[in-house]
């Protein structure tokens, strides 16, 4: 992937060189450090004053590796979409750092910012509302070329859009149709084609299949997997549910109330989860095998999710955690690999008593 390596004055500037470099597969393409996004809560009509803040994202750290799919899961309101928007630079961070190919995105401007905007794209949840009903499919998919004409010069755009329709499994002759003439799954293919138009390196998929019928979800996930191989993409794939991300993710991060509580490889999360919240989410995943279904205990979480404007002290999960002890109230657990766990289960987990299900640790 290359970007225009010249500034307005014709001189090559270092950040553009950095953004044009190829990151080897398996090395970080996005580095997120202690990222915070608070939305101020204000009171008063004439004299507005801040009375608090919704702590939507509250100190999140992780890397997205080149070529991988990182699944991000968690209940509604835990901060997944806010995280995505800050990574895309659509919302400014309150504090913390997001580096794309080593460059701090909040400090970029001009050509550097344009390159990041081109290279990190998003596919949204709802294919019914995210596509403008008054635009043809050709105009929707080709719209990004208006801002980045270097990717497809004017004379080549129709062909470029038809190629994209073909790539996502739609008939290139549909180019003049309107969104309402397509099914939900087809609309999401249009959203994906638009996301691919600028030949990005990273695609953030925010619940791309949640609004679709189960039978169509698998088709869209298969398409995303195929495109990842064909175009060397890195994905962040957001979902409510661990069952949806299972098939597509190399690693999975679990969020609760603005925090990442556990992150690990596919096997570490699905077979060796050590955080009680992840274990509760896993226990709710449908199991196709009837025998396994009967023998598995479902963990039913009691209590509501606390408000992100006023999260519990210490561990944020403590008001719903069946393992909570005094320490959990006063000391926030760090997202680290607990030293007491065996090799297979040792991965980052923000719990003082991290342990695989059925193997309890009594003291922290």
Ligand X SMILES: Nc1ncnc2c1ncn2[C@@H]1O[C@H](COP(=O)(O)OP(=O)(O)OP(=O)(O)O)[C@@H](O)[C@H]1O
CB atoms within 10 A of CB 11: 9
Distance separating alpha carbons of residues 95 and 194, to the nearest angstrom? 31
Q: Is 54 in the site for ligand X (CB under 6 A)?
A: yes
Q: Closer to ligand SF4 by CB, 55 or 275: give it.
A: 275
Q: Is 179 in the site for ligand X (CB under 6 A)?
A: no
Of 69-77, 140-148, 162-170, 196-204, which part binds ligand X (CB under 6 A)? 69-77
Q: Site for ligand SF4 (CB under 6 A): which residue of 315, 335, 341, 355?
A: 315
Q: What is the CA radius of gyration of the chain?
A: 22
φ, ψ for residue 121, nearest 5 deg: -115, 165
Q: Is 317 in the site for ligand SF4 (CB under 6 A)?
A: yes
Q: Is 127 in the site for ligand X (CB under 6 A)?
A: no
At 32, is the secondary structure helix, strand, or coil? strand
At 338, is the secondary structure helix, strand, or coil? coil
DSSP 258-290: TEEEEEEEHHHHHHH--SHHHHHHHHTS--S-H
8 Å CB contact between 283 and 299: yes
The entry of ligand SF4, ligand X, Mg ion, none near residue 79 (CB within 5 to 8 angstroms by kind) is: ligand X
Distance separating alpha carbons of residues 237 and 75, to the nearest angstrom? 14
Q: Is 323 in the site for ligand SF4 (CB under 6 A)?
A: yes
Q: Is 276 in the site for ligand SF4 (CB under 6 A)?
A: yes
Print the binding letters for residues 41-80 with Mg ion: x by CB under 5 A, - otherwise: ---------------------------------------x
Q: Interaction with ligand X in 186-245: which residues (CB under 6 A)?
A: 240
Name the site residues for Mg ion (rule: CB under 5 A): 80-81
Name the site residues for ligand X (rule: CB under 6 A): 39, 54, 56, 74, 76-82, 240, 308
């Amino acid at each position: 992937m290359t970007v225009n390596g010249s500034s307005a004055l014709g001189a090559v500037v270092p950040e553009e060189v950095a953004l044009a470099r190829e990151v080897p597969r398996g090395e970080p393409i996005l580095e997120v450090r202690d990222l915070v996004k608070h939305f101020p809560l204000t009171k008063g009509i004439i004299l507005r004053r801040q009375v608090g803040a919704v702590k939507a994202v509250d100190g999140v750290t992780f890397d997205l590796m080149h070529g991988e799919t990182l699944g991000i899961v968690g209940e509604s309101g835990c901060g997944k979409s806010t995280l995505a928007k800050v990574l895309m630079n659509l919302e400014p961070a309150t504090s913390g750092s997001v580096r794309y190919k080593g460059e701090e995105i909040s400090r970029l401007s001009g050509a550097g910012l344009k390159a990041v905007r081109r290279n990190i794209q998003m596919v949204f949840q709802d294919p019914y509302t995210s596509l403008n009903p008054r635009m043809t499919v050709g105009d929707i998919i080709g719209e990004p070329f208006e801002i980045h004409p270097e990717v497809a010069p004017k004379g080549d755009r129709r062909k470029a859009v038809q190629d994209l329709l073909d790539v996502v499994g739609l008939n290139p002759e549909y180019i003049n149709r309107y969104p309402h003439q397509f099914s939900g799954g087809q609309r999401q293919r249009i959203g994906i084609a638009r996301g691919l138009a600028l030949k990005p390196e990273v695609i953030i998929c925010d619940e791309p299949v949640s609004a679709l019928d189960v039978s169509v979800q698998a088709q869209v996930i298969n398409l995303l997997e195929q495109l990842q191989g064909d175009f060397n993409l890195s994905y962040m794939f957001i979902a409510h549910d661990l069952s949806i991300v299972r098939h597509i993710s190399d690693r999975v991060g679990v969020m609760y109330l603005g925090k990442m509580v556990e992150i690990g490889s596919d096997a570490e999360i699905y077979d060796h989860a050590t955080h009680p919240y992840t274990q509760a989410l896993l226990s709710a995943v449908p199991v196709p095998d009837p025998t396994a279904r009967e023998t598995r205990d479902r963990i039913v979480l009691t209590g509501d999710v606390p408000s992100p404007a006023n999260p519990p002290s210490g561990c944020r999960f403590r008001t719903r955690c069946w393992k909570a002890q005094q320490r959990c109230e006063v000391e926030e657990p760090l997202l680290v690999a607990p030293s007491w766990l065996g090799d297979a289960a040792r991965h980052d987990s923000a719990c003082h008593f991290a342990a695989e299900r059925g193997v309890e640790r009594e003291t922290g």
